[in-house]
Amino acid sequence: MENVLNHKSYKKNFVVVLVIVVTLIVSMIAGGFLIGKYFSNEKNVPVLSKEQLNENVSEDRKNAITSVVSKVSDAIVGINVEEVREVRNPFYDDPFFRQFFGDIGPQKQVVRGLGSGFIISPDGYILTNDHVAGNATKISVTLTTGETVQAELIGSDQVSDVALLKIDKKNLPFLEFANSDNVLIGEWAIAFGNPFGLFEINDKPTVTVGVVSATNMSVTAEGRRVYKDMIQTDASINSGNSGGPLVDIEGKVIGMNTIIYTGGSFSSGSIGVGFAISINRVVNIMNELKAKGSIDRNFNVGFNIQPVDERIAQYYELEKAEGVIVTQILRGGLADRAGLKPEDIIIGVNGKPVRNQQDLVYVINDSRVGDVLILKILRDGDEREIEMTLEGQ
C-alpha cells in the first residue's frame, strides 16, 4: 500500500515539474522573441554610422555665438597702412653735434601700422578708426578671400576718431547696424578684428566674446579727440583690433572697437576694459564724411578758461566748486561778440551741466561750424544765458 501511494505521489510531482519546465522554456522562447523584436525595431534604437555620429556632435557644438561668427566674419578686413612722419634726431639739438653736422632739420620717415575695419556696403565702403588710417599715405585692405586691394581714404575726423575708406569691389558681404541707443548692459558683445596682425596668417579675423559692461561712457583722451557715448565691454580688445566691429547676438554692429585700458604704461594687452564708439555716433560722422569728405570744425571760440577750485568758489561765494571761469577774451572774437566777459562762470552748455573743464571742452571740440553754443553763466551772482554761433575762420 505504501509503494502504491509513493508511486502516485511520484507521478504527481513529475507532472508538476514537467509543467514548470515547459512553462519556463516557452517563456524564454517568447521573451527572446519579444526582445529580439524590440531591439530589431529601427524606430526605437537607430543604428548610426561613424559619419552620422560626428555630424550630430558637430551640430551640438553650434550655438548663437558660432552663428554670429559665420554671419559676420566675411565682412571683416585687415588694414595695413604706411604713413610719412617727420622725425628729428635729438642729438641735433645739441650745439656740439650741430658744430660738426650743421643744422639738420627734421627728416621724413615711413611708419607702418595695422588695424581692422568692416565692410558696410556691397560696393566697398569700409569703416575704421581715424587713428588707424586718417593720416596714411598708403592703405592696403586684406579680405577674407586672401585678396589684398588698395583703399581710398574718403574722409576722416580726428575728433570722433572715425575714418571712411573705399575699395573698388562689388557684391561684397557687409554688416548691418543696430540701434546703439537700445543696447542693454549685460547683453552679449562679440569683438572681431586683427589683433597684432593675426589676420594676415589665415585671412580670418579673430573673435572674442564678452558682455556690454556699461554704456554712454566718456573717456579722457589726448589732443582734440572726443570719446563720448562709448560702450564698455570685457570682450578682449588688443592692439590691432582698432576699427573692427563690436556686434550683438544678432550679428548687428553696436560699436567700433577703439581703445583699451591696460592698467599701466608698461602693459599693452587687454585686462577686460575695452571701449567701442557707439555705432549711432559712427553713422552720423560717416554720413558727413561720405557727403563732404571732412567735418568742418575750423573755428575759434575766442576765450580761455580754468576750473573753479575751492579758492575761486569761496571768493565768488559759490555753493560748490564746480564749473569753469573765463580768464581771457579775444577782442573781436566769437565770445566777445556774443557778450561773454572775463570772470563769467560757465555752469552749463546746451542744456548740460558743466562741472569741470572737460565737460565744456568736450562739447566745444565736438561742435561744427554753424553750430550754436548756449552757455549758462553766473555773473555777479545772477544766472543768464549767452548764445554763441560758431563761425568758420
Catalytic residues: 131, 161, 242
Which residues touch 235 (CB under 8 Å, ≥6 apart)? 189, 190, 191, 208, 209, 210, 211, 246, 274
Measure the CA–CA gap between 80 and 131, rounded to whole angstroms.
12
| Bridge partners of residue 255, in order along the sequence | 246, 278
The grid coordinates listed for 234 are 570685457
Q: Let me know: does 308 contact 318? Beta carbons within 8 Å.
A: yes
How far is residue 141 from each of residues 95, 247, 282, measured CA to CA in Å? 45, 21, 20
Q: Which residue has the cell 523584436?
A: 37
Distance from C-alpha of 192 to C-alpha of 115, rounded to nearest angstrom: 11
Q: How many residues does the structure list for the chain?
A: 393
Closest CA to 326 of 52, 312, 70: 312
Phi, psi values for residue 176, rounded to 5°? -100, 155
Q: Is 59 left (phi over 0), alpha (psi -120 to 50) or beta?
A: alpha
- Identify each DSSP E strand in the chain by its residue range: 76-87, 107-119, 125-128, 138-142, 148-150, 152-157, 162-166, 188-193, 206-219, 227-233, 245-247, 253-260, 274-278, 303-307, 324-329, 345-349, 352-353, 372-379, 382-389
| Strand (E) or helix (H) holding 287 | helix 279-292
By three-state DSSP, how is residue 368 classified?
coil
CA atoms within 13 A on the CB side of 265: 0
Strands 382-389 and 76-87: unpaired
Helix (H, G, I), strand (E, B) or coil at 239: coil
